[in-house]
């Protein structure tokens, strides 16, 4: 009954699902062990995917052949492209999801993969022989064998939940925590730490008065995440905006002396950019109101998520404070908010493949690495799943550079700098963010996904066609010459200077006052029209033309630095041999064991002169 597998994935959250799917799609036999098969791909917190920088990650996961984008498209109830008024590097897709459909679509996708077996149980030990993982042991005392193991335990390791003065063992509401595994990993030599996160109360939508709130509609023309032919929304559900006020703050303050955060009962650090409501009114005492997004949890449910009101104050305080919010006067609460504190493993103990440095073929992905967010977890799961498969079949490492994707930025940040608080992605973390846009993730990554056998032929062909269409349209725009008499009227109406002689459409598109909304009109000036290409091709072409100089500069910078990214350092390199290294530099290099000179140069404490010494040693 208990076969041995190429890859075992522990945990079926966002990281675990992507890991299992990737490894199995590439040909590994996979066993997915999870504590509760009814909670596969649960959205522990808000029912939403994407958002600023996170939407770009979902597009990258999709471009490589992962499933989060497809599942999001199949389960969304509202879509918005955030930051449309800013430059294209900032455009970020975000959807409101149907929580149940999301989880169900994931389960269906995994069940449809014949290479995946399932087992409901709790893993409390990894079996290690001669520095290499060879399997896992479960609560039922069963040993499963595997060539690679991916741990994606989320918030469950020694999880403790807090509501006011009440404390429960658990990884998520109504779910047990996982015990034993942290202690065993620590006994193997791993370092662990403690973090915390929190979630708001859920309320009954029938008890709310939406006439007192602002309606937030989805986009008129909803987009989607996947580059494949998933459906777009034809109807959408609205979200709503309301605000806290002084009365709400006063109610919340009555619970401060019972707050597990303010009384020091929670030790772990929480996500700074996703603070609890009590934290917000405490830290920003001069602000008289905070925004609350009232978000439906799905198509066919009255349950509503109160975004912006994450709290671990006593439930009666939560209720009293909620009922002072405009529109919430008659609120009925379904479940209180709570905080959860859990173990994580500082990610500086990992290689760029997410394999641990200490135990061969053992991988960590998701919240266990100190990150927060479904998207951050999903992309790590994908990368760990790919590399777990490649290790199992003895193929080379698969990594993504910082200049190639947010996924590269995230993993490099984690393994190079570590994190003291739950790490979430921001566009500001990426030095090449104009290259790493949501519109071009397929052009950046699909070929890589295809080469390793993850992205399908169909996906690859679609990307090649898009690349050709963009190139053809760029050429048509370049050769289209406009006569002053045909365009000057329009230019005047835009407040743009008129032409004295013929000029190419190409140069006209570069003018800052010509924006993307004008493009459809301008493309009609091409003698044969834009050639029946889709909106994605038009958008991509125009972005590449408008920002050409900027993008070229950024590409050149990336290429310059890439030279260092391509200079590998042997993981067993003896830094003690290089006496000229600074003391701090040598200690950090010995501890973090960077994979490349590029990574070494980003370690805090490794000085430019340390890098020069390494380069001289390597004959550069
Ligand atoms: C209360 C709460 C609030 C949150 N708030 C936010 C927020 O505001 N913003 C945000 O971006 N993110 C938030 N998150 C985080 C978000 O849910 C996670 O980042 C994301 O779900 C992590 O994905 P994961 O796959 O790493 O782990 P999870 O989604 O937690 O999945 C872990 C899976 O592993 C299983 N498992 C664990 N241990 C074992 C074991 N030993 N054996 C077998 N199975 C095991 C669990 O059953 C579960 O299925 C919150 C999470 C919680 C719980």
**How far apart, in whole angstroms, are the C-alpha atoms of residue 91 and residue 16?**
28
Element counts in the chain: helices (H) and strands (E): 20, 22
Residue 600 token pair: 């070494």
- Alpha-carbon distance of 594 to 351, in angstroms, equals 8
Tokens of 473: 């349209």
CA of 15 to the centre of ligand 1 (A): 9
Q: What is the 3-state secondary structure (H, E, C) of 301-367?
A: CCEEEEECCCCCCCHHHHHHHHCCCCCCCCCCEEECCEEEEEEECCHHHECCCCEECCCECEEECCH
CA distance 196 to 155: 8
| C-alpha to C-alpha distance for 596 and 353, rounded to whole angstroms | 13
Sign of CA dihedral 316, 321, 324, 329: negative
Ligand 1 site, residue 369, Cβ cutoff 6 A: no
What percentage of the chain reaches a pLDDT higher than 70? 100
Ligand 1 nearest atom to the CA of residue 121, by list position: 43
Tens of pLDDT, residue by residue over 266-280, are 888 888 878 999 999
Ligand 1 binding pocket includes 65 (Cβ within 6 Å): no
Report the run of H or E that residue 468 belongs to, with start and end: helix 457-479
- Can you tell me which atom of ligand 1 is nearest the CA of 172? 53
Q: Is the Cβ atom of 33 under 6 angstroms away from ligand 1?
A: yes
Mode of pairing for the β-strands spanning 166-169 and 160-163: antiparallel
What distances in angstroms separate CA 284 from CA 60, 279, 288, 548, one per listed residue?
36, 8, 9, 42
Residues 264 and 339: beta-carbon distance below 8 Å: no
For residue 20 and ligand 1, the question of a CB distance below 6 A is answered with no
Cα gap 479→481, rounded to integer Å:
6
Residue having the nearest C-alpha atom to atom 41 of ligand 1:
123
User: How high is the pLDDT of residue 542?
Assistant: 93
Angle (CA) 262-336-259 rounded to 5° is: 10
* Residue of 365, 289, 372 whose CA lies nearest to 324: 289
pLDDT of 516 strictly over 80: no
DSSP for residue 184: H
- Distance from the CA of 44 to the center of ligand 1, in angstroms? 6
- Report the half-sphere exposure of 612 (CA within 13 A, side-chain side): 5
Q: How many angstroms separate the Cα of 152 from the Cα of each of 9, 18, 389?
A: 7, 10, 16
Q: What is the per-residue pLDDT across 279-322, written as a single tens digit (0 to 9) for each? A: 999 989 899 999 999 999 999 999 999 999 999 999 999 999 99
Q: Is the pLDDT reported for residue 620 higher than 80?
A: no
Does 9 contact ligand 1 (Cβ within 6 A)? Answer: no
The pLDDT score that the predictor gives to residue 561 is 83
Q: What tens digit of pLDDT does each residue of 307-362 get? A: 999 999 999 999 999 999 999 999 999 999 999 999 999 999 999 999 999 999 99
Q: What is the pLDDT of residue 457?
A: 98
Average pLDDT, the chain: 95
Q: What is the pTM of this model?
A: 0.96
Does ligand 1 come within 6 angstroms of the Cβ of 32?
A: no
Domain 457-552 sits in CATH 1.10.530.10: no
Q: Is 372 in the pocket of ligand 1 (CB under 6 A)?
A: yes
What is the whole-number distance in angstroms between the Cα of residue 143 and the centre of ligand 1? Answer: 24
Q: 115 CA distance to ligand 1 centroid (A)?
A: 24
Q: Is the CB of 198 under 6 A from ligand 1?
A: yes
Rounded CA-CA distance 170/161 in Å is: 6
The CATH architecture of the domain made up of 202-335 is Beta Barrel (2.40)
User: Would you say 182 and 153 are in contact if contact means Cβ atoms under 8 Å apart?
Assistant: no
Find out whether the beta carbon of 377 lies less than 6 Å from any atom of ligand 1.
yes
pLDDT of residue 1: 65
pLDDT for 524: 83
Cβ contacts of residue 83 below 8 Å, gap of 6+? 52, 90, 91, 92
Task: Tell me, yes or no, if the two domains 202-335 and 457-552 fold the same way.
Answer: no
The full DSSP string for 206-232 is GG--GGGSEEE---SS---S-SS-PPP
A 10 A CB-CB count for 382 gives 32
Q: Which of 179-193, 447-461, 520-534 has the lowest mean pLDDT?
A: 520-534
Query: Cα(120) to centroid of ligand 1, in Å?
Result: 17
pLDDT of residue 588: 94
Pocket test for ligand 1, best of 8, 13, 293, 344 (most atoms within 8 A of CB): 13
The per-residue DSSP string of 419-446 comes to -SS-B---GGG-TTTTTS-GGGHHHHHH
pLDDT above 80 (res 528): no
Q: Quote the ligand 1 centre to 147 CA distance (angstroms).
A: 25
Mean pLDDT of 152-174: 96
Tell me, what's the pLDDT at 273? 77
Q: Look-up: residue for tokens 């309320």?
A: 203
Q: What is the pLDDT of residues 566-611, one digit of tens each?
A: 999 999 999 999 999 999 999 999 999 999 999 999 999 999 899 9
Q: What are the start-end ranges of the E strands in 55-155?
A: 76-82, 92-97, 116-120, 123-129, 132-138, 143-151
**Domain residue ranges of the chain, discontinuous segments joined by +:** 202-335, 457-552, 567-617
Q: Residue 201's closest CA among 317, 375, 366, 58?
A: 317
Residues 223-251 pLDDT 10s: 999 999 999 999 999 999 999 999 999 99
Closest CA to 312 of 197, 414, 405, 203: 197
Query: How many CB atoms neighbour CB 236 within 10 A?
Result: 18
Query: Residues near 253 by Cβ (< 8 Å), separated by ≥ 6?
Result: 281
User: Helices in 65-200 by DSSP H: which ranges?
Assistant: 68-75, 99-111, 181-188
* For ligand 1, mutation pick of 31, 44, 161 (most atoms within 8 Å of CB): 44
Per residue in 367-399, pLDDT (tens digit) is 999 999 999 999 999 999 999 999 999 999 999
Does CATH place domain 567-617 in 1.20.960.40? no
Cα 508 vs. chain centroid, distance in angstroms?
37
The Å distance, Cα 528 to ligand 1 centre, comes to 53
Report how far ligand 1's centroid is from the alpha carbon of 315 (Å).
23
Q: Is 14 in the pocket of ligand 1 (CB under 6 A)?
A: yes
- Is 35 close to ligand 1, i.e. is its CB under 6 Å away? yes
Question: Quick check: CB of 16 below 6 Å from ligand 1?
Answer: yes
State whether the beta carbon of 15 lies less than 6 angstroms from ligand 1: yes
Asked if the model's pLDDT at residue 520 lies above 90, the reply is no
Question: Is pLDDT of 471 > 70?
Answer: yes
């Amino acid at each position: 009954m208990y076969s041995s597998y190429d890859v075992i994935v522990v945990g079926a959250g966002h990281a675990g699902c992507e890991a299992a799917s990737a490894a199995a799609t590439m040909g590994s036999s996979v066993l997915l062990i999870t504590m509760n098969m009814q909670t596969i791909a649960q959205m522990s917190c808000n029912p939403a995917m994407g958002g600023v920088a996170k939407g770009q990650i979902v597009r990258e996961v999709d471009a490589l052949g992962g499933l989060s984008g497809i599942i999001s498209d199949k389960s969304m109830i509202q879509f918005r492209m955030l930051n449309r008024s800013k430059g294209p590097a900032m455009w970020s897709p975000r959807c409101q999801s149907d929580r149940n459909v999301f989880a169900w679509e994931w389960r269906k996708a995994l069940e449809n993969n014949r290479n995946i077996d399932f087992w409901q149980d709790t893993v409390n030990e990894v079996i290690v022989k001669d520095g290499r993982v060879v399997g896992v042991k479960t609560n039922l005392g069963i040993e499963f064998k595997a060539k690679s193991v991916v741990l994606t335990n989320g918030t469950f390791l020694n999880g403790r939940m807090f509501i006011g003065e009440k404390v429960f063992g658990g990884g998520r509401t109504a779910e047990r925590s996982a015990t034993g595994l942290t202690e065993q990993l620590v006994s193997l030599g791993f370092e662990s730490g403690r973090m915390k996160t929190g979630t708001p109360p859920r309320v009954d939508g029938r008890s709310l008065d939406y006439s007192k709130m602002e309606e937030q509609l989805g986009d008129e023309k909803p987009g989607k995440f996947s580059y494949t032919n998933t459906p777009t929304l034809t109807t959408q559900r609205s979200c709503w905006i309301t605000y806290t006020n002084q009365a709400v703050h006063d109610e919340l303050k009555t619970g401060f002396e019972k707050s597990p955060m303010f009384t020091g009962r929670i030790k772990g650090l929480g996500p700074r950019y996703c603070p609890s409501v009590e934290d917000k009114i405490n830290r920003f005492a001069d602000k008289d109101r905070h925004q609350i997004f009232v978000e439906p949890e799905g198509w066919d449910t009255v349950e509503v998520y109160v975004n912006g009101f994450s709290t671990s104050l006593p439930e009666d305080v939560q209720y009293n404070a909620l009922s002072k919010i405009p529109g919430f006067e008659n609120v009925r609460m379904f479940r209180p908010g709570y905080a959860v504190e859990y173990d994580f493993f500082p990610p500086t103990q990992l290689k760029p493949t997410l394999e641990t440095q200490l135990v061969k073929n053992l991988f960590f992905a998701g919240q266990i690495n100190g990150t927060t967010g479904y998207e951050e977890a999903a992309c790590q799961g994908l990368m760990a799943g790919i590399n777990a498969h490649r290790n199992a079949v003895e193929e080379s490492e698969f990594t993504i550079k910082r200049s190639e994707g947010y996924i590269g930025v995230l993993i490099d940040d984690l393994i190079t700098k570590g994190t003291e608080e739950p790490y979430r992605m921001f566009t500001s973390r990426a030095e090449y963010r104009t290259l790493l846009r949501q519109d071009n993730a397929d052009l950046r990554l699909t070929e890589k996904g295809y080469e390793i056998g993850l992205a399908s032929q169909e996906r690859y062909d679609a990307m090649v066609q898009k690349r050709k269409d963009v190139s053809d349209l760029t050429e048509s725009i370049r050769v289209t010459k406009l006569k002053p008499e045909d365009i000057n009227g329009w230019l005047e109406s835009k407040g743009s200077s008129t032409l004295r002689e013929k000029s190419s459409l190409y140069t006209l598109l570069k003018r800052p006052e010509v924006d993307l909304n004008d493009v459809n009109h301008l493309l009609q000036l091409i003698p044969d029209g834009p050639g029946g290409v889709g909106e994605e091709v038009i958008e991509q072409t125009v972005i590449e033309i408008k920002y050409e100089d900027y993008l070229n500069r950024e590409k050149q910078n990336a290429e310059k630095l890439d030279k260092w990214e391509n200079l590998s350092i042997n993981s067993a390199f003896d830094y003690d041999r290089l006496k000229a290294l600074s003391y701090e530099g040598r200690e950090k290099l010995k501890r973090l064991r960077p994979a490349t000179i590029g990574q070494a140069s980003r370690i805090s404490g490794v000085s430019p002169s340390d890098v020069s010494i390494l380069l001289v040693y390597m004959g550069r």
